Amino acid sequence: MMKIVQWMIILVCIGYASSIFADELNGNEPQKSFWETYTSALRGDKVSQFNVGVIYERGIGVDKNQSMAANWYLKAAEQGHVDAQYNVAIMYVTGRGVDQNTTAGMMWLASAAKHGDKESRKLLLEVIDGKYDKVAKPKLDKGISIIALRMKTIKDTMICDGAGECSPIKAQTTVTSKVKNGSYYKVSGIGGKNGWEPYEKEGWIDEASVEIRR
């Protein structure tokens, strides 16, 4: 299998790719190889989508771009490409190319492990055990007051306390906020079965994971 690396080193960029594919792309016509592969990826071929992810992650014939790498790995992962599932899981867990999201990382590791990938299973157990809990957690203070906002959470939203301890919150949950710190909103209230209730704990949500309703 076209596995990239065995393990993660926290906050260090990990080089991973198929050495055979890399040799091909570093041959006489790397740009031609890229565009042929890219065209196939645009047409929905999951192997090509994975390979384009490798190209961008390693900067083979193009500038390195972690966000583009994650985007193409995710496309391939959604079509069942096991190595892409492993790679995008690592990017979610470490916060490379995407917002750090341990829940999403665990989901993709579980999917790859379900298809028999032993490395994904081993890494999943390490994530569950908390080995990577200190990766890319937000450092939050009191923030500044803002006009009260109402928003809806979207898929894979995390709510974090001031120490950076995060937990998932269900999609399409209504939350309110009166304080903002950088890209994070402090939750003042939350909707539930019993209607709107004040949020007594300290909880922050990334603005990228909500839809503002005002």
138-188 pLDDT, tens digit per residue, is 556 677 888 889 999 886 678 887 666 677 788 888 999 999 888 888 999
Q: Say if CB 139 and CB 133 are below 8 A apart.
A: no
Rounded CA separation 26/39 (Å): 18
Rounded CA separation 120/83 (Å): 9
Rounded CA separation 72/57 (Å): 10
Rounded CA separation 189/140 (Å): 18
Rounded CA separation 13/157 (Å): 24
206: Cα within 13 Å, side-chain hemisphere:
19
Report pLDDT for 139. Answer: 58
Q: Say if CB 83 and CB 92 are below 8 A apart.
A: no
Q: How confident is the model at residue 214 (pLDDT cuts 50, 70, 90)?
A: low
Statement: the pTM of the whole predicted model exceeds 0.85 = no
